[in-house]
Chains A and B, each alone.
Chain A
């Protein structure tokens, strides 16, 4: 595998893992959402994310060409090999935490896929363009809920403040780029992390203002890095549950 292919497959795994881990958290809401409409919406968003993850994994599997398929990339890697950002692996908490987590991620996802739909890699551009339609809806939806909860009742406002306080520290990891991404960005394949970060900041500021929520200062470095497989303690347990069948019955066909 060339260095370029290595960079590219690494980048694709980040996109895939972000979508899938985010989707897996949404699966945990099934049957527990605050209204039937939300049951449907959360499953709908989760379904989109798993579909996107599958597309990214399939492309990554082709580039890796090591005999692993999309399912093996999803269900047979350990947490140290996962490349998702720390934010999406965080527990669901109450509806304010889930809403904040979705919105902060959706805003990043939207600007990332916007950039990627103009990628010089045609396959990435095609997957991103399809995903962007879905993520546009996700961002609209989570943004509306940020407004409802931020500018709803006293209790919902208090819970939104607590949720932001809980999650904001992971936004540094969300926005950080690295050498791999910047190398790919220079050839027009990947999104430029600084461009995405600036667009993300503007989207978040605009929505938080409408929701009467303060925008915290940039998050401190957390001495972890999802892109390097350095995760919080939450991911291992999430994967143990998600990967159980594939691990317990490695010869099985499902």
Chain B
């Protein structure tokens, strides 16, 4: 999930009898699965929750360019280089698409980006892990985009229309990236040397748990989930999505001929699901707080890009004004 912990600011979900007529009409519309559109009335907390979630999602796309960008200059073949460039370009596009969706709620892109750069807005914890070998490009595509897709496929039915439509478009491209990522790993496992196979297993060992953390805290520790589910911003609980991801990913892992760094991972015939080990929640919350391996580098890079580029943006604005003036006097 690219927005794994979103405050709703709501302590308790109201029932219909407690609501104002406006709130009740809104909730009935939600319950009837009619999409909320930008000009419709909506509770302020719904608006703010969505701004937080969509901006987190957008920030994640943009910060998520960095771990992959780290290997862009070192991609090993022309084909892999072209694939990676296309993928990162798509991510920039997804970010812009999501910022547009967010702006339909009355939020301002620059303001929300400033919050990201000052540490007041979050992005997905996964992008705070370093990419240390080429197999990470495959593992990010397969596991990270895979986790994102499991989440985003469900969000195609989220109650806010512009967000749902963004998810439909984004999922199409993400699925393509995920298959490419898996193909990178499969090539290295099937046709690669021992050193390459070791890279693949090493990448999986490092990214497996961080990918599972993308679904956010366990439902029991997710106080915001109830309201987000009632508003149908979220459509499924964190644990359910995480389980779905594991169930579909373990067979792919086995097909690769790799293992997960989880001794407790095993099929449970009784549940019809894979059982898996305990996530290190302390690590999760620390990374989210800014104390992960790359948090500082990621934000510094983004902030520096914006600061270094300020004179460029100012020049573009000044030139546009001059051009407009020329046109109006001509």
Contact = CB atoms under 8 A, between A and B. Distances in A.
Interface in B265-319: 301-302, 304-306, 308-316, 318-319
A159 interface: yes
Nearest to A157: B315
A36 B98 CA distance: 12
Given A152-B318, A245-B76, A51 B82 contact: yes
Contacts, number: 141
Interface string A11-32: 0000000000000100110111
A30 B74 contact: no
Contact of A35 (B85, B187, B312): B312
Given A34-B309, A153-B311, A27 B72 contact: yes
Contacts of A28: 73
A211 B304 CA distance: 27
B73 A40 contact: no
Contact of B74 (A33, A50, A148, A245): A245
A233 B4 CA distance: 47
A43 to B, nearest CB: 4
Interface string B186-222: 0110011101100000000000000000000000000
Given A34-B309, A252-B192, A253-B192, A148 B316 contact: yes
Contacts of A24: 73
Interface residues of A, number: 48
Contact of B66 (A31, A50, A71): A31
- Chain B contact residues: helix, strand, loop or mixed: helix
B85 A40 contact: no
Contact of A32 (B76, B134, B308): B308
A143 interface: no
A50 B78 contact: yes
Contacts of A148: 315-316, 319-320
B196 A30 contact: no
A147 interface: yes
Name, among A31, A94, A147, A249, the residue most crowded by chain B CB atoms within 10 Å (CB to CB): A31
Contact of B78 (A27, A54, A147): A54
B92 A50 contact: no
Nearest to B317: A152
A241 interface: yes
Across the A-B interface, the 3 shortest Cβ-Cβ residue pairs: A34-B309, A152-B315, A156-B315
Interface of A: 24, 27-28, 30-40, 43-44, 46-47, 50-51, 53-54, 57, 70-71, 74-75, 94-95, 147-149, 151-153, 155-156, 159, 241-242, 244-246, 249, 251-254
26 contacts: A30-B69, A31-B301, A34-B305, A34-B306, A34-B309, A34-B313, A35-B313, A36-B99, A43-B89, A44-B89, A47-B85, A53-B78, A54-B79, A71-B78, A75-B76, A95-B308, A95-B309, A147-B319, A149-B312, A245-B74, A245-B134, A252-B188, A252-B193, A252-B195, A253-B191, A253-B192
